[in-house]
Amino acid sequence: MKVSVFGAGYVGLVTAACLADMGNSVVCVDVDPVRVDLLNSGGVPIHEPGLDELIRRNAAAGRLHFTLDAASGVNHGTIVFIAVGTPASEDGSADIEHVLAAARSIGRHMLDYKVIVDKSTVPVGTAEQVQQAVAEQLRARAAVLPFAVVSNPEFLKEGVAIEDFMRPDRVVLGSDDEQATLLMRAIYAPFLRNRDRMLVMDRRSAELCKYVANAMLASRISFMNEMAMLAERLGADIEQVRLGIGSDPRIGSQFLYAGCGWGGSCLPKDVKALRHMAEGTGLRLGLLDEVQQINERQRLLLVDRVVERFGERLDGQTFTLWGLAFKPGTDDLREAPSLKIIDALLTRGAKVRAFDPVAMPAVAARWPDRAGLTLCADPYDAAQGASALLLVTEWREFRSPDFSRLREAMQTPLLLDGRNLYDPAWMRAQGFEHVGIGRGALPPTAARVEALLDSPLGQALVA
C-alpha cells in the first residue's frame, strides 16, 4: 500500500519506518529542512533502539522517502497519517495547531480519496475538527472529493517503540466509515497475524483511550510512591509489598515501581490535558490532581534527602547523578526528574557531576555553559569526590557496577537510590550507606534524632 506520514518526529518516524518494513511505500513529510536533510543523508534525529537501522534499510530499499513537499506527500498515499506534535499549552491543554495545519495542507493538495488518520495524541473531538478543516479547504477549491477521518492513537513506549509497533498488544481504531475501517485493517494486518487485536470504536472513545491509559499508568506509579512514603514510616519494604500485590492477577506487576518520579513526553502532558478537558466540562478530576502533586513532590525527593543529610546550603559539596534521561533506552529529557534535581542542587551551591550513556549531548545542548555542572566520560569519573551518588535513571550498565572502584572514587559512600535498583543488604556488604525509596525506616539523620529527642517519647526515654 502507499502511505503518507505527516511529521518526522518520534511517532512519525517509528510509524513510517515500521510500515515501510512490511513492504509498504511510505513518504514522510516534515516542515523542518534540517531534519529532512539529516534523514535523507542517513542520520536519525532521535535515539530509539533499532530505529536508525530500520530507517536506513528501508530508505536503501526505496520504500521510505523524506520530503518537505506537502503536495507530493499528500498525493502519494491513500492513507495519510498525521503524527505531528501536540505540545502542552500554558493552561495544560494540548495544542493541536500542528494537527490542524497538517489537515489544512491535506485539504489543499488532495486529488482523490484519502483516509486521514489522527495518530497524534489529541483531545477528544479533534477528529471532527480535522474533518472540518479538510472540508473547508476543499470548499475553497470548489473541489468535491471523498475522504474519511479516523482516530488511531499510538501506544508506543520510548526505548521499545519498534517492538510495540511490530507486535502491538492492541490497535485502537476510532472509525464510523466502513471503507476506511477496511483499509486500516489491511494496513495493520501484517502486524496482527497471530491474533486480531484491533479494537474498533467511535472516534471520541478512541481519542479518550490514550489519555485514560496514560492517566492510569501515572496513577499507579504515584500510588506506589505514596505507599512508599508510608512504608518508610512503618518500617516496611515497598519492594516486598510490590511483589506481594503484583502477584494478584487483578492488579498485575506493571507500573508498580516506586521511585523519584515519572516524566517524559506522554504521562505529564496527557495527565494535564485530561484534567483540562474535564475542567472544560465542569468536572474536576480530584484523583489526577493528587497524582500530579505526588509526582511533583517525588521528583525532588532525592534533593530533600540530600538537604536532610547535608543542610540547606550545599557549598563545597559535590554530588553525582547516574542517569539523566527520563527513562532508560532514550535520550528524551522532557519532564525528566534529573533536570529538577540538578537545578535544585546547583541553586543550593553544590557542584554536580553527571553521567548518562545516551542523554548527555541533549543536556549539553540544553545547558551549554551551566556553572557547577560537569558531564563526565564514564560513571566512575562522575563519582570522583562525591559526597553522595544519586541514582536517577536505571540504565542496565548501572545494575552491577564495580562497587569497590565506585567506593574508592567517592568521598562518602552514600548512595541515594532513586529507582530502588540495589538491594540494601548487598550495598551495606559493599561498604555503602544505601537509602532507597520506601525500603524500610530511613537512617536516623541528625534532624530526625533531634526531633525524636524533643518528642514526649524521646524525653521519656532519656529520663
Which residues, 6 or more positions from 111, have their beta carbon under 8 angstroms from its beta carbon?
75, 145
pLDDT above 80 (res 453): no
| pTM of the complete model beyond 0.75 | yes
114-118 and 198-201 beta bridge pairing: unpaired
Q: What is the pLDDT of residue 455?
A: 63
Q: How far apart are CA 284 and CA 300, in angstroms?
A: 26
Residue 442 main-chain phi, psi, to 5 deg: -70, 155
- Per-residue confidence band for 212, with pLDDT thresholds at 50, 70 and 90: very high
* Residue 310 to residues 63, 84, 286, 299, 317, Cα–Cα distance (Å): 58, 45, 36, 19, 9
* Residue 166 to residues 79, 134, 276, 383, Cα–Cα distance (Å): 18, 30, 33, 39
Please, are residues 84 and 7 in contact by the beta-carbon 8 Å criterion? yes
* Residue 158 to residues 39, 213, 285, Cα–Cα distance (Å): 20, 15, 27
Q: Which of 287, 294, 270 is nearest to 437 (CA)?
A: 294
Q: Which three cell numbers stand for residue 70?
A: 506537502
Helices (H), 141-177: 161-166
Compute the average pLDDT of residues 61-74.
97
Supply the mean pLDDT for the chain: 94
pLDDT above 60 (res 233): yes
Active site amino acids: 266
pLDDT above 50 (res 62): yes
Compute the average pLDDT of residues 242-247.
97
pLDDT above 70 (res 442): no
Q: How far apart are CA 374 and CA 371, in angstroms?
A: 8
Q: Give 242: exposed, middle or buried? Use CB within 10 Å, 0-12, 13-18, 19+.
A: buried
**DSSP code of 92?**
S
**DSSP code of 94?**
B
pLDDT above 60 (res 417): yes
User: What angle is formed at CA 368 by the lines to CA 363 and CA 372, rounded to 5 degrees?
Assistant: 85
Q: How far apart are CA 225 and CA 99, in angstroms?
A: 35
Q: In percent, how much of the chain has pLDDT > 90?
A: 92
| Residue 69, SS3 per DSSP | coil
Q: What is the pLDDT of residue 460?
A: 57
Compute the average pLDDT of residues 228-239.
95
Q: Which three cell numbers stand for residue 197?
A: 487485536
